[in-house]
Each structure stands twice: as structure tokens, then as C-alpha cells.
Structure 1
Amino acid sequence: MSDISEKFWDASVEELKKGYVFDEETEEYICLACGETFIKGVIYQDNQVLYEAEKFVQLHVQNEHTSMFDYLLNLDKKYTGLTDLQKKMVQFFYMGLNDKEIVKEMDGGSTSTIRNHRFTLREKMKQAKVFLALMELSEEKSKVQTKFVPIHRTATMVDDRYNITEEENDEVLKAHFTEGLDGPLSTFPKKQKRKLIILRHLVTKFDSNKKYTEKEVNTVIESVYPDFVTLRRYLIEYGFLDRTADGSQYWVKL
């Protein structure tokens, strides 16, 4: 399973708006919402219509994810920075509603309140642009850059546990996979940050485009560590795996 979270966070604003990136090494178009890939040069078919790869990934984003606006708006608050009310406002603006129409949709309030919301959100956008420019300039200037492991977008709670450098990540994996990363897990650590590093590696054993039964999930985990029940529970708690209410199907949430 490729790390779609890393592709997502490395994408430019324009790429996030489109919903896909092009990987020059593999010559694939990659959906930023689900990680599905489309090979350049291959012709794809949908409803008896043929499409080139880039056009087909655009169709895929539309059919499978409605739109990147909807997908991005529904990301957790820790990524959008928007309150529930602000999300509603952005949705109404996207729909092209004027202030009076929004007041009706909100079933209360006033047009002046809506104008204030518009102003606040535009100021927030300006601040985001300046902050992005500042961070990019500071990283370009810095000779030594600390590289952090990207946070998976479905993380249930982002805190200090996710403050993991690539160097720290490698050290923990080497310490707990003594026979190599394809070998068994020697011990499951007690510290939460170390658990997160182990779980992040463990989820790469799963195919992000596949649905698994509980037995299949157990088999994958047990090939790495005997206590599959504990690891399965942590994979769900940390937002790496999801499942149906009856536990009949599991899938990767990345």
C-alpha cells in the first residue's frame, strides 16, 4: 500500500483542488482522496466511452468522491481549521447563495451577520497565504531541515504522539523489527508514540483498495505478531482501519 497521506500533504493547492497528482517515476495519475492509480498511456472505459488516463481520473474523482470541495470540506477540523458553522458558510458560498438566501437556509440571523462571516473567512484565507509563504521561505533558507513522518488523514486525535521525525521512525522500526521490516514484530511497545510508528508500518501490509473479512485481517496481523486482537483494536482506534458495524468487513482508512 502506497502512502497516499504523504502524496496528499505534498500536493500543491492546485493539485488539491483537482484531486489528483501525476507521479513522473511511475507515470501514474494518483487520486488524492483514495489513492487509486491510473497509468498514463492506458485507455480506460466507462459506460462504453473511452478516456485517456488523466480524463479518467477526473471522472473518477467526480463519480467516487462527488467533488474535491466536498471531500476537503468533510476533512476533520484539525485539518481544515473550520468550525461547524464556518463549514456551513463555506458550503453556502460554494453553492453561490447570496446573503439573504443564506439567512433563509440558516432559518435565522441577519444579512449583516452573513457579511461578517464572509469577511472573517476571507481574512482567514489571506492569513493562510501569508503563513504558507513564510513557512516555504523559512524551509528554503534552512540548511538543515528536520523531516517529519506525514500524519495519516484519518488520525482520530492529533497530538504530540505524531511529532515523529523520519530518523526516529527508522530507529523504532529497527528496534522492534529485528529481522527486517518484512519480518515479525519482536515486541509491541508500551509508549504511545512507538505504538503509532509500529501501527503505521503494519497498515502497509494491507491493500488499500480491498475489503477484508475479520479472519483475513487477523491472518495479516498474525503473520507479523501473535496477539492479533490487540493490534487489530489499536489499528481501528488510531484510525488506520475501519469496519462495518457488524464487523463483517474491514478496510484501510488512509
Structure 2
Amino acid sequence: MNGEELFWSASVEELAQGYIFKQDTGEYVCLICNKGFEDGIIYPVGELFFEARKAIEQHIKDVHHSMFDYLVKMGKKYTGLSDHQKELLVYFKQGLSDKEIVRLLKGGSTSTIRNHRFKLKEKEKQAKVFLALMGLLKTEKDESAQEFITFHKGAKMVDDRYAITKEEKEKVLATYFKQGPDGPLDTFPSKEKRKIIVLQQILKRFDVNKKYTEREVNEVIKTAHPDFATIRRYFIEYGFMDRNKECTQYWVKQ
């Protein structure tokens, strides 16, 4: 199970804490960067030493600041929240009063803020019911149900192009990577769904915790296909990768 699958398969409680415990490997794994901490090992953190669970909690604070910050910055397609709602949540998290929030927003009224608090509480109730319904669906043994693949959290323009089943993915990979998914790409597909599947597969050749120069990105892509410029551009356009303004550093979006 890759990092994206770990993130989306995590429970609400695990998302809030920022890590999961993998029984098969005995590791606590960060849901943001997938860094693992093996249970039973003592890890040095600054001048202190922590057991694995405490070490990953400290890792999230030191490297990612907090899960609240990470989750609230996710796009609307994942949170269902407008930028204004997310801004209010940040203020609520800080424990600010309605009057203080109105002053920071430089407009509105305390009654408007109270109304937003109410609507967010209603949204929470709706989310609980929806999660319960989806949980009940999973208990049904429906052989006709199709299992969709997961995509990176930086994905842009998420629409029906991303409605790809695991069976579809396997067929596309077999068609375009005739020597296996880790081998060369025969041709770069023109159809959107197939293009997304191929890009996701090539992306696996990059280290999610590393920053690359443009030349290094090109070299990795060339292990799959000689047209590195096109694939590099699609990585950026589709939100698989990001880069700095100078285009001197590239990294996998998480």
C-alpha cells in the first residue's frame, strides 16, 4: 500500500493524529511524508530520546507543524470548505472570540461569525452520517462494486478522468509498459485517463522526501521515456509535482 492509499484508508482518528500503526511491519508511519518509526526502537530527537510513538508525534510537530495546519490547507475538493471557512477554522482553532475575529476580518458582525460556527457544526453532523452510510456500504458483499484507485492529494482538476478502477489501471499499465511497470514506456498515451495512470506510475520512481534539480528529474523520467520535457510538464500541470519559482528544485507533492 503506497503513501496515498495509506492516507485515504486511515480512519478519522488516525488522520487527526497524523500517523498509523502498521501491524505487518511494526511501524508507526507518518501520513504526510510516510516516514516510519519502528516500534521497540529508541530514537534521538535533539538532546532527548523517544520511543517510536512519541518520536513520530514529535516528528509531526517539528517537520509538519500540526495535522490541523496540513489538513486545513488541502484543496476544497478534499475538505469541501471554502477559503473563508478555512480561515475561520484557523481563528476558531486559535480560540479567538467572535469580536476578535470580526476585527481581524475587518468587516462583518459577531452574528455572522456565530452563524458560521453553527453551519460548521451542522456540516460536522452531516459528515458523521455520511461516514456511517459509507461504512455500512463496505459491509455489503457486492461483487459488482468497483474499487477505484487513489490519487495524490495535489491532483488538479479532479473530475471523471480520475474515476479509474483498479482493473482499468492494470490493463493500461500492461498495454503501455510491456516490459513491466518499472520498465520503459512504449508510447505516451493521448487519452486523459490513460495519461493520468501512466504519470502516476512514473512518479513512483521519485523519492517523495527528496528535492530534485531539473536535470535529475529529467534523468529519472528518461528511465521511462525519452520525451522528459513533456512528462515533466504534465507532472506540474496535473499537480503530481511542484517546483520553486526559479525552476531549480522539483519535488513530489504530498
Settle same-fold status: TM greater than 0.5.
Answer: yes
Q: Is 1:73 equivalent to 2:67 in the alignment? A: no
Deviations along 1:184-216, whole A, 9 cap, x unmatched? 100110001100000000000111111212111
What displacement does 1:4 show?
Answer: 1.3
1:127 is displaced (CA, Å) by 0.5
Alpha carbon RMSD of aligned pairs, Å? 1.2
What is aligned with 2:54?
55
Give the drift of 1:22. 1.0
Aligned residue in 1 for 2:12: 13
Structure with the bigger RCO (C-alpha within 8 Å, sep 6+) is: 1
TM-score by length of 1: 0.96
Unaligned runs of 5+ in 2: none
- Aligned position for 1:160: 160
1:122 aligns with 2:95: no
Partner amino acid for 1:233? R
- The offset of 1:139, in angstroms, is 2.2
Question: Does residue 83 in structure 1 map to residue 109 in structure 2?
Answer: no
Partner of 2:23: 24
Paired positions, count: 253
Mapped to 2, the partners of 1:7 and 1:194 lie a distance apart of: 23
What letter is aligned with 2:146?
T
Offset of residue 252 of structure 1: 1.1
Are 2:178 and 1:143 aligned? no
> Secondary structure of 1:45's partner?
strand
> Residue 98 of structure 1: CA displacement?
2.0
Deviation readout 1:117-163 (Å, 9 max, x if unpaired): 11111101101110111111122124223111012100022111110
Q: Which residue of 2 aligns with 1:108?
A: 107
Q: Note the C-alpha offset of 1:28.
A: 1.4
TM-score w.r.t. length of structure 2: 0.96
Q: Which residue of 1 aligns with 2:133?
A: 134
1:90-115 superposed Cα distances (whole Å, 9 cap, x missing partner): 11111112222222222222111111
Q: CA deviation at 1:3?
A: 2.4
| Paired position in structure 2 for 1:241 | 241
1:220-253 per-position Cα deviation (integer Å, ceiling 9, x unaligned): 1111111111111111111111122222221111
User: Is residue 215 of structure 1 aligned with residue 215 of structure 2?
Assistant: yes
Cα distance in 2 for residues equivalent to 1:59 and 1:159: 37
2:182 aligned partner: 182
Identity of aligned residues (%): 55
